[in-house]
Amino acid sequence: MQLYSELDKNIKYFETLFANCGDMVARKFPIGASLTRHAYIMYFDGMIDRQIVEASVLPKLMASAQKMPESFFHAPLDLLATLKEGGMTTADLREESDMDAIAKAVMAGDTVLMTDGAANAVLVATKGFPNRGVPETNTEVVVQGSNEAFSEVMRINTALVRRRIKDVKLKVKQMQVGRRTVTDIALCYLDDVVRHEVLERAIKRIQNIDIDGILSCGALEEFIEEDYQSPFPQTQITERPDKAASAILEGRIAILVDGAPMVILIPAVIDSFFQSADDYSQRWEIMSLARLLRFASAFFALALPGLYIAITTFHPNMLPMMLAFKMAAARESIPFPAVLEVLIMEFAFELLREAGIRLPRPVGSSIGIIGGLIVGEAAVSAGIVSPIVVIIVALTGIASFAVPSYSLVAAFRLAKFLIIALSAALGLLGFWIALLLLLIHLASLKSFGLPYLFPFAAGDVNGFTDFKDSLFRLPIIFMKKRPIYANPSQRIRLNTDKLGNPRKKE
Amino acid sequence: MTNHQTHEGFALNNKISLRQLQALLLLEVFGFGVTALPRRVAENAGQDGWLSVLLAVIMIIPVVMMASYLARLAGGKSFHDFASHVISKPLGVVVSLIFCLRLVLLAAFNLRIFAEITRQTMLPTTPFVVIFVSMLMLAAYGAAKGIETRARMAEILVLVTLLPLIFVFGISGRDIDFTNLAPVFVATPLDVARGSFPAFFAFSGVEVLLLVSPYLSRPKHLVRSASGVAITIGISMAIVTIVTIARFGADGIVHQMWPVLKMMDTISLPGSIIDRQGALIMTFWIISAYATINAALFFSSLLLKDTIGCGQHSAYILVLVPIIAILAHIPQNLSVVYEYHLLSNSTFGLATMVGIPLIILIIAKIRGMKIERN
């Protein structure tokens, strides 16, 4: 619906539309030297920067409007043009004549200005809602490196990315999702490096979402990934702008969701969940060791309890004799089978973890002490579980914290119970069947067309160069090519021609 | 679709690279074929059994070349379509069904052998049915996921299985006694030839090369890479045979059902916390069994789908699973299984590995068919 050229009709329309919206501020005021003409301004309180409206919009407007000669108003449309050109000192202005668009703009924090006799309105970008600025990293802490994190305001987030990549090819494609929430979503990518089929697929999937509201990254994630039924994350979530920037440089796409202090990175293969922002700010040797440790700990987090059950229950003869004796002695007075023992302790551990998240931070540590130390110790001395099971479950728990990605570990935690169940039923055969089931599932997953197990499967596609930043983190000088995420025509990222050999004497 | 996408092969569904095909073949053929091989050849040719293996390798190479050449000739057509095109539609249906039956029998007997070994060595108290049903289900799940998933699995499993195996064989160097191989060349040529027969069937499964034509993203060097992998498998089998004979002696081997497994079990790893390599054997054994049964199930369901001409291959897997389970359950004991296995190998096996491809090749050549070069 288009605006009327009579101001009063427009005012009536918007007043009906925004009836009972207590946070709406609207004012009709006379303009022109004779004060016979009127203008109308409206905005949502709290959504706008009052400073802009009251210091640089309203006074200029009033002053210039009142100076206008009466003769000027005979050409009504020019009034708006004059106001727009001469009255206001902000840069971000646009005209709009569609009522729906005006309503949406005002709800998003714009200030609307309408005048007598004009069938279009001026929208002043005055967005300025309360926010907490640029917060510190909370879930992805590093030892060396930036401590900035994304915040809830999308504009701040795009700025955090733009500040790190000052390239004209960095595009920020904005879209809106949600019939009611009208959530702003932005796709940040390097136009020449990104794989266009991935970009098109992402845009199409986001456009096809028809829901009343999107309030978090997780909700959007489920709509855009290939297999929403899988427990494994097929997109990566980060709160670190430097990580997002590095991903964008590799040809990935960062999806920013307004209101979420996290950013979705696509595509994501399993390797990316083992990389941490810290890896590139420390020496490569030690970080290679850390990488190996992370892969090993992922395996422990997944398989250790199952392996313990399989061996103690079905194949104790596999162990060296002394170890087998020790384990048998520890289990001697335990009334439960090994699987129940493990499940009791796993249950206790998961309980601790869940309770630890909910508790206020100062109390959290005491739960750790009560839960971990006292309950564990008491369970052992009461003879309910054997000390070896406590060691196994504790190791499994610690191992799960060594993997940088929370969502990947969450999937492993779930899969762990499948392994426990099958190992308890079929020993090592069950253990391997469970592992193979998991592997079949992982092998069948794709993230935006890329095999999830890349580069461990199909690594030849990029000449196996992705292994340089996989199980090990080789020196950056070796990583001349971008990973598989990048458009094949833009794979070279490092030119070593001018570097020469630094060891050679000048 | 741009050239780049085609080149990278990711946007293509249901296509695999030659490297992935090699991994699939390696897993499918090597693991299961090798376990009983030293016994089978030593029974015939004594300590010269390894000569039988080498002879079998020489025999298998033309078979592999022929199968992969026909796959190139098919130019992306399924085996059923290609065979129907070359040797008329009714005969095409017949050979497809023979092929399907061959793979079903292969799956059934291997499943039975797997279940028997697992029960004897690992799970003496577990009901037999539980073992083989769980393996069959796993193989069916993997087969239903399609060829791309199978190929990626194979790439990872090759690393998981073969690297530890090479490690173990490297270490076994300390325990083996090469005088067990001496004197060499005592077996008569006839004995060696007789031993090469079971050794030839240790390569059972290579005939699936005939079926892979529709799934290759860039089949140009198919013949070369298939022969390469066949030679690799053959040489590995010969080395395993030599090492096993050197370890136990020809006389020691013939009394063991699965000498290779026994050998892996008895090697003492230095400084290891595992006394017996139970876990390692289980890895090797379960993964090999999985790979073989999975491949047979996958390709037989495809053959059935193409012959009937409608539906999804996963639906046919559901049909085949109970049939394989019943067939695996029929033989009373292991020696009967091996008897049936030999029977099926020397009829259906010989037909699918040599007979059918040879006939199709001759007729195709008479009709002047050529590989499409694009």
Within 8 A of A318 by CB-CB distance, chain B residues are: 274-276, 278-279
pLDDT value at position A12? 92
**Total domains present in chain A:** 3
Is A113 a member of any domain? yes
Question: What is the count of residue pairs from A and B with beta carbons less than 8 Å apart?
Answer: 111
Same domain, A292 and A215: no
* Region of poorest pLDDT, from A284-288, B11-15, B24-28: B11-15
Q: Which of A427, A433, A487 sits opposite B138 (nearest CB)?
A: A433
Is A481 a member of any domain? no
Is A132 a member of any domain? no
Same domain, A38 and A112: yes
**CATH says B15-267+275-365 is which class?**
mainly alpha
Name the burial class of residue A51, with classes exposed (0-12), middle (13-18) and buried (19+) by CB atoms within 10 angstroms of its CB. Answer: exposed
Q: Give the tens place of pLDDT for each residue, B312-321.
A: 899 999 999 9
Greater model confidence, B143 or A70:
B143
Same domain, A178 and A300: no
How does the average pLDDT of chain B come out, rounded?
A: 86
Tokens of A505: 């004497």
Q: Give the tens place of pLDDT for each residue, A24-37.
A: 999 888 876 667 77
Does the beta-carbon distance from B135 to A443 stay under 8 Å?
A: no
Q: Give the tens place of pLDDT for each residue, A159-213.
A: 999 999 999 999 999 999 999 999 999 999 999 999 999 999 999 999 999 999 9
pLDDT band at B270 (very low <50, low <70, confident <90, very high): low
pLDDT value at position B261? 78
Decide if pLDDT at A75 tops 60: no
Does the beta-carbon distance from A318 to B20 stay under 8 Å?
A: no
- ipTM, 2 decimals? 0.92
pLDDT value at position B1? 33
Is A172 a member of any domain? yes
How does the average pLDDT of chain A come out, rounded?
A: 88
User: What is the share, in percent, of chain B residues with pLDDT greater than 70?
Assistant: 91
Is A201 a member of any domain? yes
What are the CA-CA distances from residue A138 to residues A149, A239, A248, A291, A422 (Å)?
Answer: 8, 8, 22, 22, 37
- Mutation pick from B121, B152, B155 vs chain A, by most beta carbons of A within 10 Å, is B152
Q: Give the tens place of pLDDT for each residue, A282-304.
A: 899 999 999 999 999 999 999 99
Same domain, A297 and A439: yes
CA atoms within 13 A on the CB side of A79: 30
CA distance B321 to chain A (A): 17
Greater model confidence, B372 or A486:
A486
Same domain, A100 and A236: no
Residue A38: phi and psi, rounded to 5, are -130, 155
CA distance A237 to chain B (A): 23
Is A389 a member of any domain? yes
Decide if pLDDT at B2 tops 60: no
Q: Which of A234-238, A463-467, B181-185 has the highest mean pLDDT?
A: A234-238
Greater model confidence, B230 or A315:
B230
pLDDT value at position A54? 81
- Say which amino acid occupies A468: K
Tokens of A413: 């935690």
pLDDT band at B4 (very low <50, low <70, confident <90, very high): very low
Same domain, A263 and A368: no
pLDDT value at position B278? 60
Same domain, A83 and A232: no
Same domain, A300 and A256: no
Q: How far apart are CA A30 and CA A35, in angstroms?
A: 5
Same domain, A321 and A242: no
Same domain, A184 and A264: yes
- Single out the residue in A248, A268, A288 at which a domain terminates: A268
Q: Which of B146, B156, B278 sits opposite A315 (nearest CB)?
A: B278
Tokens of B9: 């092969």
- Identify residues of A whose CB sits under 8 angstroms from chain B CBs: 197, 314-315, 317-321, 323, 425-430, 432-433, 436-437, 439-440, 443-444, 449-451, 453, 456-461, 487-489
Which chain B residue lies closest to A491 (C-alpha atoms)? B4
- Identify residues of B whose CB sits under 8 angstroms from chain A CBs: 4-5, 7-11, 17, 19-20, 118, 122-123, 126, 130-131, 134-135, 138, 141-142, 145-146, 148-153, 155-157, 159, 273-276, 278-279, 282-283, 286-287, 290
pLDDT value at position A73? 56
Q: Mention every residue, 6+ apart, whose C-beta is less than 8 A from residue A202.
A: A187, A224, A253, A255, A266, A448
* Region of poorest pLDDT, from B173-177, B295-299, B361-365: B173-177
Residue A423's domain spans which residues?
280-450
- Degrees (nearest 5) of the Cα angle A399, A400, A404? 105
Greater model confidence, A82 or A363:
A363
Pure H helices in chain B: 3-8, 18-25, 31-35, 37-45, 49-74, 79-87, 89-121, 128-144, 147-172, 189-201, 222-254, 259-266, 278-308, 313-329, 334-344, 350, 356-366
Decide if pLDDT at B225 tops 50: yes
Greater model confidence, B162 or A381:
A381
Same domain, A173 and A318: no
pLDDT value at position A393? 92
Q: Which of A117-131, A323-337, B314-328 has the highest mean pLDDT?
A: B314-328
Is A47 a member of any domain? yes
Which chain B residue lies closest to A457 (C-alpha atoms)? B152
Same domain, A120 and A172: no
pLDDT band at B56 (very low <50, low <70, confident <90, very high): very high
